[in-house]
């Protein structure tokens, strides 16, 4: 990856946040302050830096990854192939393995895991939304513009424009409070 490639990827990532922000930055200084202070931007910037550094120094790339995990909670492998416009909202707990492939302009929420399993690692298309604590495992494909719901466990392909959702919670009536029988406990 050349310096120009790395800068272009980071600019695309920052532009994705700028377009999605409630208050877009007005100046370059405002943009720098956001990168320094917002975890979501720190996670992406450190990931891109580790990607850039890896061909030159694997040790430094692993160190940057460790700093990313410590600062933001995002464990994103510098070996993962991730397109421009990546958005990691609330990056704590996000795990993206080295063989994962993620397309352009993907939005990933907190706690999402891309796991290696039967058939390899997940491949995700462009413009995909992945909800909090979703798990994508194995050599599955998620098509462009698909949506993965919160807490979904995806082990099969999701077609373009499709959706994968977690089962709904089962709601039961109120429970009777437990009564502790001390006579039985003493025996």
For 110-129, the pLDDT digits (tens) are 999 999 988 999 999 999 99
Residue 63 confidence (pLDDT): 96
Residue 24 confidence (pLDDT): 64
In a domain, 87, yes or no: yes
The per-residue pLDDT of the chain, averaged, comes to: 87
Residue 21 has pLDDT above 70, yes or no: no
Residue 14 confidence (pLDDT): 75
Residue 27 confidence (pLDDT): 75
Better-predicted residue by pLDDT, 119 or 185: 119
In a domain, 155, yes or no: yes
Residue 58 confidence (pLDDT): 94
Residue 165 has pLDDT above 70, yes or no: yes
**Are 14 and 35 a contacting pair, CB within 8 Å?**
yes
Average pLDDT over residues 157-179: 83
Q: Tally Cβ neighbours within 10 Å of residue 175.
A: 6
Q: List the CATH number of the domain containing 118.
A: 2.160.10.10
Q: In this predicted model, what pLDDT tens digit does every residue of 31-56 receive, in sequence order?
A: 677 666 778 888 999 999 999 999 99
Alpha-carbon gap, residue 181 to 64, rounded angstroms: 56
Number of domains in the chain: 1
Residue 185 confidence (pLDDT): 61
Residue 20 has pLDDT above 60, yes or no: no
Exposed/middle/buried for 130, CB within 10 Å: 0-12, 13-18, 19+?
A: buried
Residue 11 confidence (pLDDT): 81
Domain around 103: 3-164
Residue 112 confidence (pLDDT): 97
Percent helix, strand, coil in the chain, to 5, is 35, 20, 50
Share of the chain above pLDDT 90, in %: 63
What region does 100 belong to: left with phi over 0, alpha with psi -120 to 50, or beta?
beta
In a domain, 44, yes or no: yes
**Which of 65-69, 95-99, 146-150, 181-185 is the least confident region?**
181-185
In a domain, 182, yes or no: no
In a domain, 115, yes or no: yes
């Amino acid at each position: 990856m050349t310096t120009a490639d790395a800068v272009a990827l980071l600019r695309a990532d920052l532009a994705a946040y700028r377009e999605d922000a409630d208050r877009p930055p007005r100046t370059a200084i405002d943009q720098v302050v956001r990168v320094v202070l917002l975890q979501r931007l720190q996670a992406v910037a450190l990931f891109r830096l580790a990607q850039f550094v890896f061909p030159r120094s694997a040790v430094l790339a692993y160190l940057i990854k460790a700093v990313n995990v410590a600062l933001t909670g995002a464990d994103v492998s510098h070996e993962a192939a991730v397109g421009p416009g990546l958005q990691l909202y609330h990056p704590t707990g996000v795990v993206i393995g080295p063989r994962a492939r993620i397309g352009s302009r993907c939005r990933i929420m907190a706690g999402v895991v891309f796991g290696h399993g039967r058939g390899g690692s997940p491949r995700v298309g462009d413009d995909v939304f992945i909800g909090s604590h979703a798990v994508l495992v194995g050599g599955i494909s998620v098509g462009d513009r698909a949506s993965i719901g919160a807490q979904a466990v995806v082990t099969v392909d999701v077609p373009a424009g499709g959706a994968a959702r977690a089962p709904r919670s089962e709601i039961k009536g109120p429970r009777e409070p437990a009564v502790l029988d001390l006579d039985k406990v003493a025996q």
